[in-house]
Amino acid sequence: MFGSSVASVAPEGTARLADSTVRRRLRTLDQRCTRKRRTSVTSATPSGLSPDSTSQQTLAVARWCAAQGWPVHPLAMGRKTPAGNCPACRVHGHSPAGCPCLPAGRWCHGFLAATLDEDLIASWWGTHPQLGVGVACGPAGLVVLDIDAHPGAVPSRDRVLPGISIDDRVDLTGLATGFDSLALLAALRGAQDPAQDASTLRVRTPSGGLHVWYRSEADRWLCSVGSGTGTGRALAWQVDIRAAGGYIIAPGTRTRDGTYTMLGRCRQPAPLPAWLAQELGRTGHVRSPQAQAPSALSSPVPARARQAIINMGGGRSQAERALHTVLAEVVACAEVPAGAGFTAKLNRAAYTAGGLVASGYFTETEAERLLTEAAVHARPGQERRCSSIIRNGLVAGGKRPLQLKGRA
């Protein structure tokens, strides 16, 4: 696979590895990667569980995770995505902070609904055993390396390991998946390949990938974005980080593609290795001390959007405040690359704006421009998708004019 050549370029401020050291480690890596990856998998589920699918298994998985101190939330039946919001939340959108669902015993807002409450867990999975189990990584203090095994076009050398320029003399022939890029990073750092780390919880995914679980301070690290393309915040090509602002599928969870199966005997995450913590910091995965959880109260509308509202003469009106609130939720998604409920929030904002337009508070052109600015701020490069959500939301909201007291 990787030739026994020399990797001569390291990130600025770090020592370069000696040629002989790199050659030796790359030879070892080459030998390892020529063997079949699926070696002696020990089928396992959380302690006390049968690998067979029963009506009690998902409840047992959820309880086992909660017992570890990992907040859990439901996943859609047979899928990897969170269970959908209740009909009331889809129609009458509201922020997670004001959601009445959890006190009423319902789940909503994806991983933001994650809980350790024994009664809620018993109610959710006892009544709906077909639901999967997700774990909210941030509050659980988890950092999970999500290694993909999907062969694809390898990006340029400067994107295989973001921030590290790989010397042309390093033979990358055979590099095909996230297993390879992570092993290369570990070899260059003189560290153990996390995929081979038997001292921590590792979970084989149905697609042949691997989740490597570590523990760290709660909400310190951020999720990756764009690792599959070699762009954006990423540790390595095809290696995602699941941390604050995201979730991970619990071991023992069954999807339509198969079961997430623990490897080996270790059932607990080990502390995050120091070298990996340094790499996460180097690649922008560390959360600033001042960072707050996204909320309508703490996330401002972009300056241009705010000024546009003021220019319309509604700087202090109820209509402006109503629109500001839903736009702020959209903008807040910029802090969370995945799992923030962006689509639902943008749809809710567009629906609200449509109602305000129908009542004459704003023109459709003005509302569409404000929504587009907020959406592009949160999800740059997704203009076409955002435009479709905005148009559909405006049309739906326009059928229900929104009347406010004290109209400006």
| pLDDT at residue 120, as a whole number | 87
- The pLDDT tens digits for 189-241 are 999 999 999 999 999 999 999 999 999 987 789 888 755 544 468 899 999 99
Instruction: Output the pLDDT for position 89.
Output: 66
* pLDDT for res 151: 75
Residue 3's φ and ψ, nearest 5 degrees, are -70, 165
Question: Left if phi > 0, otherwise alpha if psi is -120 to 50, otherwise beta: which for 109?
Answer: left
Q: Which residues lie closer than 8 Å to 39 by C-beta, 6 or more apart? A: none
pLDDT at position 193, please?
96
Map tokens 């203009």 to a residue: 383
3-state SS, residue 25: helix
Comparison of pLDDT for 365 and 182, the residue scoring more: 182
The pLDDT tens digits for 128-161 are 899 999 999 988 999 999 999 887 788 888 888 9
Helix (H) or strand (E) holding 281: helix 274-282
The more confident residue out of 346 and 52 is 346
Is 72 in a helix, a strand, or coil? strand
Question: What is the predicted pLDDT for the residue at 163?
Answer: 86
Is beta strand 72-75 parallel, antiparallel or unpaired with respect to 261-262? unpaired
CA 197, 150, 49, 117: dihedral to nearest 10 degrees?
Answer: 90
Query: With contact defined as beta carbons under 8 Å apart, do 194 and 182 qualify?
Result: yes
CA 401 to chain centre: 35
- The rounded distance, in Å, linking the Cα atoms of 33 and 13 is 30
Q: How many CB atoms lie within 10 A of CB 336?
A: 21
Q: Are 125 and 59 in contact (CB under 8 A)?
A: yes
Q: What is the pLDDT of residue 35?
A: 43
pLDDT single digits (tens) 358-393? 988 888 888 888 898 888 887 877 888 888 889 888
Rounded mean pLDDT, 68-75? 92
Bridge partners for 199 per DSSP: none
Task: Choose between 310 and 273: higher pLDDT.
Answer: 273
The single-letter code of the amino acid at 103 is P
How does residue 317 score in pLDDT terms, banded at 50, 70 and 90?
low
The residue whose two tokens read 């809980």 is 115
What separation in angstroms does the CA of 370 have from each of 225, 316, 358? 25, 16, 16
**Token pair of 96, please?**
């997670």
